[in-house]
Structure 1
Amino acid sequence: MDNELYEALIGADLSGRELRVALAVHRLTIGYNVDEARIAASYIAKMAGLDRANVSRIINDLIRQGVVARSGGSRDPISIAPVSCWKIDQKATVSKPTQCVEKVRATVSVLTHFKDSKDINSLTGVVDAKRQPEQPAEAAEPVRQKSQMPACPHQAIVDLYHEVLPELPGVAILNDTRKRHLQSRWRESAVHRDLDFWRDYFATVKTSAFLMGKVQGRMGAKPFRATFDWLIAPSNFVKVVEGNYHA
């Protein structure tokens, strides 16, 4: 390898992209002990990490500046020209102003208080207590008002159902779905948040022949009989309260 030519390329006033392309040409020619070689622009682009279109333009610029030589057209061999042939363009240099950044060191003092002492010892020395700024009073955290609505007594309502309506199917498992339905009915109105309401509600069901299964079904079908789940469903609950099954 021609080290003098290589060092001349390193010291030449070429742009970053021009230097990368020139070094790639140097490696693929003199690096393989040949004076010139047919080198595809796409190969140089891959080697130099550049776009192919830019490589073709940069090669033409290097040929114009005498750094790269080509004996014919774009498909002919290329080589690195002798240093004496180089006529490198002067690159415009722009000096960037240096900005001074002032570093500010913050010292955090950890204060240790002593009873009946006029001074306060800190990590940075003894400080007069009278000169210490008054610390703002901490704002009191807002106290959340707890909901005044009593919790839904799920089991108590189920017990009333069994007490008033023993003829209807019983509730063996008080699962989450039933609890959610009871909770919804409980919260719908202040009237519903009273066990006496639920006792009256089940008593109203007891007076309905249809809900108690005492009305023959159509076309010989079995009589309908209400269940706990049916009675606490939203639409059915409203119909029973409004007396739709007591005509």
Structure 2
Amino acid sequence: MSTVTHIQSKSGFTRMDNDLYEALIGAELSGRELRVALAIHRQTAGYNLESACIAASYIAQMSGIRREDVSRAISELIRQGVIYRDGGSRSPIGFSPVSEWKIDKKNTHPNKPKEVPQCGVSDTSNVAFLPHNKDRNTNTNANALVVDASASTAGEEGRHGNGKAATPPDQAKAVRAEKIPYSRIVEIYNQTCGHALPQCLKLNDKRKTNIRGCWNLKINGVQPFRASEFWVAYFRDCLAVKHYVGDNDRSWKADIEFLTRESTVLKVLEAQQ
């Protein structure tokens, strides 16, 4: 008796290109990224389409993954060249040729623990948080630089008269300031928006205040702007707003100061819901 299960045409089926199938099997994607990729394939090839407009909320419903995590997985798949999207967050999605994939090396020594833990999942769109490293007496800042925890506490210990040398005030201030990576955020803005919007050449007090407001902004109990990935996704969404890129009667264009205002941030994020 044959053990082959024949496809029941009445229930439907989706064909997958063998090269794509084998590439997905061998790709070092995370479990969430793979599930999202399969959902995208189902909504494109499953309907004989090369690309399609697929809402993150719909993939979330299919996969059981939170919409915010779906958005982050889509961003990671685009960054690694697995899928493409022409335009903003509502544009059609499709699979790129396998030859163009550039998958991150997740762990080149599978039998050894990763020296740097990967980002934990956030609760908002397109964002991951740097994890707490409880096993080491260091703090990790948003630039992925490890800062000696003793540097930020030495000043306190010196003031309490425990015999240890206190950190000079200017040095302690510099350590605290580094917690908000202004230079990295400016770099992300210039790289993402510099071709369409005015480059940011200098941060004044107003711009720093706006960035600090974004950094501390809480949405659903989390602070999404504390990850580089979220800044990239946010600035890309801003570019999708025609008015911001000069499509208006004054040819006015937004700049980093405008895009980091709380009113602008909330308007752009709420439009993605």
Structure 1-normalised TM-score?
0.37
Q: Relative contact order: is structure 1 or structure 2 higher (C-alpha 8 Å, sep ≥ 6)?
A: 2
